[in-house]
Amino acid sequence: MKHLTAFILSANTYDEAVVKDIESIDDGIFSPVAPSYTNNIYYSTGGTPIKWDKHEEDMKKLSKKYPDIEFKLEGIEIDTYIVWLKYFLDGKRIGKKILPVREING
């Protein structure tokens, strides 16, 4: 089952070509979060949970196109409160980390 997930995508570069490709992922789901003077890319889905079923496939393609740039994708699954990090480099997922479940005060 795929979960509604809010995503944050970052990379340790600010290359205009990379920015353009990120902005075209899945019909433009990402918006910039940090200004370009940070020398890093920070994009998010604006806290809006979405179903991006092929996020791993898309990230592998992006990282294959830019093999020297490490991309970090953070996912926050809204229904399970699970937070995970996935790292991509040279067309491969090179790591995944599940963070502790966040307490929700309600």
Task: Enumerate the domain spans of the chain.
Answer: 5-99
pLDDT at residue 68, as a whole number: 95
pLDDT single digits (tens) 1-45? 478 999 999 988 888 899 899 999 988 888 888 655 556 778 888
Chain segment 36-75, per-residue pLDDT in tens:
555 677 888 887 888 898 999 999 999 999 999 999 999 9
* CATH label, 5-99, candidates 3.30.70, 3.40.50, 2.60.40, 1.10.760: 3.30.70
> With 70 as the cut, is the pLDDT of residue 106 above it?
no
The Cα–Cα gap between 72 and 89 comes to 9
Contact 30, 46 (CB under 8 A): no
Task: Please enumerate in sequence order all residues whose Cβ is within 8 A of that of 15, keeping only pairs 6 or more positions apart, or say none.
Answer: 66, 69
